[in-house]
Structure 1
Amino acid sequence: MEELRIQANGNLGPIDSSRVPRFAGAATFARLPRLDQVQHADVAVVGVPFDAGVSYRPGARFGANHVREASRLLRPYNPAWDVSPFENIQVADAGDMAVNPFNINEAIETVQQNALDLTASGTKLVTLGGDHTIALPLLRAAAQRAGEPVAMLHFDAHLDTWDTYFGAEYTHGTPFRRAVEEGILDTEAICHVGTRGPLYGKKDLDDDHRFGFGIVTSADVYYQGVAETVARLRERIGNRPLYVSIDIDVLDPAHAPGTGTPEAGGITSRELLEIIRGLRGMNLAGADVVEVAPAYDHAELTGVAGSHAAFELVTLLADNAAGGQARNGYARQSLARGREAAAVSAGQEAQESFE
């Protein structure tokens, strides 16, 4: 059957939902073309169906396809940015990596190699997990492509800088300790966002501080607001190559019940999306959205949140490719509500956007 797709600027976009019902057809991310349907992708959305690294509830291996199904509702224009990302750049769904569910070490090697293969011609990755174990090989690949350690913003209820679980070094609670040890993170530009809940002991925080992480807790976001949060993050990261890793449990269980290790007191979906929008103009090298576990996701709240977070990340990459010049519509209204430094990339350009 013929695919009725939107096409603009030489880019093959999503299936036209005004002509083909959203519930019909294959569930690629945002109904975009498959990677094999385009000559080159500026951004590839790829799934990693792996959850052998979880310490509590399994099920994130089904997360990527759950997010894809939820993404059927996405529309191609993002009014918060005044950007149509699929017109600015070619975005495609690269399908799923085939990783060994019984061997974590082999799975990590496979993810790293697949990420390097997918980015060999300059493509950027937005990865759908899967559990947070996969962030380590994705960071390895991002740092190799950048030619230097990368900055990172880590959205999560948890630190994920513990040493081992049951003697295992590679789990969903250890990737960022390993990343620091391997020297692939710029330790002057790494920060957790949205952390909360009990820890094993104060040593957890001491270790985390020693690794170089800043912490913006969910309470900090609540008391200081999104604009101040973004200003702090932008100041810390600067223009370094940036990797963004989003564990969906950064959201309160009211917004994202479908995850393996939920914690009360999280940020809202609105806060997460607005913080991502506040990264406009930053040098995004890659990103992931992980820990979506559909078996616990009543009303598909988590899948919807995950799909929108991924859409904002794709929009950020598309906006960067276009020079980040469009600042009209809802975007202008959003900027007017926040601090100048929280929403735009550079001084003079920022001043003009507020005049």
Structure 2
Amino acid sequence: MYRPLFEKGKPGFAGIRTFMHLPHVQELDQVDYAVIGNPFDTGASYAVGTRFGPSAIREMSQRIRPTNPAQGIDTSEYLSGIDYGDLTVFPGYIEQTYEIIQEQLKPIYDKGIVPIILGGDHSISYPHVKAAAEKYGPISLVHFDSHSDAWKHIDEKRKFGHGSMFWHGAMEGWIDTGSSIQMGMRGTSSLTHYDETRELGFELLTTDDVKKLSAVELCSRIKERVADRPVFLTFDIDFLDPVFAPGTGTPEVGGFTTYEALQMIRGLAGIRLVGCDLVEVLPDRDPTRVTALNAAYIAFEFITLLALHRRSALDAAGIKQSAAVQE
């Protein structure tokens, strides 16, 4: 059983910078979730530097404890988690990197472990979600972003990037678009792009659409959409307004507060989460480091969703908490 390593009397800023002080382990037995860095940014179209996102998020996670008072749970009582380290990537070689990422994620998924992946630009969701689909079949995508990332690729020489991976997922069949939902789209996109994305089968909610709903209403809509299917949750940090996430490569004004985002994620308790990633943190554009701080707390909410799901399953089975975790 792996828990965050908070030593009594030792300050939170001391020690090796793993996510939330989780043990850095690559043995996969008795592991429920693994925080994994993916320092790849060759798919970026505007500003690069998200390769440094995983290390920045880990740095800013040092004060996060495993307890979530807002959700009424100590995640470490229900889950065994590790910081798996970073995936091997090949900067400049996107298709080769996709292949090796899928290979590295296969043993994670084969063990039933939920990867929580820290990017990196959003193009890396291509192998993340595809690897999940190899295990679970077509995946329901829950996508928080200011961009749909479902643009058709420009030509065969430039097939992949951080704006096209969900178009590929829809066309290749490993995303079940009929049970997928995208939220927060805004900015100066093509006048027809949102309709084209909906034609792929995605439910797409613009920022204006989302702002008309309460967090409870939005989450109810998401849960109805995905039902009990396997879900991959992907969160682009530019879903937040640039005031809250200046450190990103393609910011769009008029976005969401950190509080709004947390309420939306917390409201997803009960979905069948099989994987997630948090992408597009570009620390060099944010000397305050607030972008990475917000990203770290959002990633912790992913862990909380897993713990709540485990607790509900144990309660349904009549298993007491004390028996849920074996040392």
Which TM-score band (shorter chain)? over 0.9
Aligned to 1:141: 131
SS at match of 1:12: coil
| Closer, same or farther: CA 197–325 of 1 in aligned 2, 3 Å | farther
Q: Which residue among 33, 42, 51 is the counterpart of 2:41? A: 51
- The percentage of aligned residue pairs carrying the same residue is 38
- 1:299 aligned counterpart, secondary structure: coil
Q: Say whether 1:231 aligns with 2:208.
A: no
Give me the whole-angstrom Cα distance separating, in 2, the residues matched to 1:205 and 1:221.
15
Cα distance in 2 for residues equivalent to 1:135 and 1:292: 14
2-side partners of 1:262 and 1:278: how far apart? Answer: 25
Corresponding residue for residue 67 of structure 1: 57
Say what the alpha-carbon RMSD is for the aligned residues.
1.7
Q: How far is the alpha carbon of 1:319 from its aligned partner?
A: 1.6
Q: Does 1:244 align with 2:233?
A: yes
Check conservation: 1:216, 1:229, Cα contact below 8 A: no
Task: State yes or no: 1:77 paired with 2:49.
Answer: no
Deviates more, 1:206-215 or 1:98-107: 206-215
Partner of 2:202: 213
Instruction: Indicate the residue corresponding to 1:159 in structure 2.
Output: 148
Q: Distance in 2 between matches of 1:187 and 1:38?
A: 31
Deviations 1:243-288 (A, max 9, x none): 1000100000011110000000111111111111111111111100
Distance 1:143 1:36 in 2: 23
Does the 8 Å CA contact 1:161/1:176 hold for their aligned counterparts? yes
- Report whether the alignment pairs 1:92 with 2:46: no
Displacement of 1:165 in angstroms is 4.8
Q: Does 1:294 align with 2:287?
A: no
Aligned equivalent of 1:181, options 168, 171, 192:
171
CA distance in 1, matches of 2:163, 2:37: 20
Instruction: Give the equivalent residue in structure 2 for 1:278.
Output: 267
TM-score of the aligned structures, taking structure 2 as reference length? 0.92
- Tell me whether 157-166 or 168-177 shows the greater mean CA deviation: 157-166
Q: CA deviation at 1:217?
A: 2.0
Q: How far did 1:164 drift?
A: 2.2
Query: Is the CA contact 1:126–1:288 (under 8 Å) kept in the aligned structure 2?
Result: yes
Equivalent pair of 2:20/2:58 in contact (CA under 8 Å): yes
Mapped partners of 2:74, 2:65: distance in 1: 9
Provide the residue aligned with 1:335 in structure 2: none
Offset of residue 115 of structure 1:
1.0
SS in 2 for 1:14: coil
Paired with 2:255 and 2:314, the residues of 1 have a C-alpha distance of: 33
Alpha-carbon separation, structure 2, partners of 1:165 and 1:297:
31
Compared CA separation, residues 39 and 234, structure 1 to 2 (3 A): closer
Match of 1:346 in 2: none
In structure 1, which of residues 98, 105, 113 is the aligned counterpart of residue 103 of structure 2?
Answer: 113
Question: Contact 1:242 / 1:284 at 8 angstroms: preserved in 2?
Answer: yes
Q: 2 CA distance for matches of 1:17 and 1:312?
A: 23
Unaligned runs of 5+ in 2: 316-327
- Shift in Å, 1:324: 6.0
Task: Quote the Cα distance in structure 2 between the aligned partners of 1:324 and 1:305.
Answer: 29
The residue identity in structure 2 corresponding to 1:292 is: V
2:139 matched residue in structure 1: 150
Contact 2:2 2:31 in 1 (8 A): no
Q: In 1, distance between residues paired with 2:22 and 2:28? A: 10
Q: 1:33 aligns with which of 17, 23, 28?
A: 23
* Structure 1 Cα separation of the partners of residues 98 and 26 of structure 2: 24
Shift of 1:17: 5.5
1:203 maps to which of 192, 196, 204: 192
Q: Give the alignment's TM-score, normalised by structure 1.
A: 0.85
User: For residue 14 of structure 1, what is the amino acid of its counterpart?
Assistant: P
Give, in whole Å, the separation in 2 of the partners of 1:168 and 1:214.
Answer: 26
Matches for 1:3-42 after TM superposition, within 5 Å: 11-16=1-6, 18-36=8-26, 39-42=29-32
**What secondary structure sits across from 1:304 in the alignment?**
helix
CA contact (8 A) 1:257 1:298 kept: no
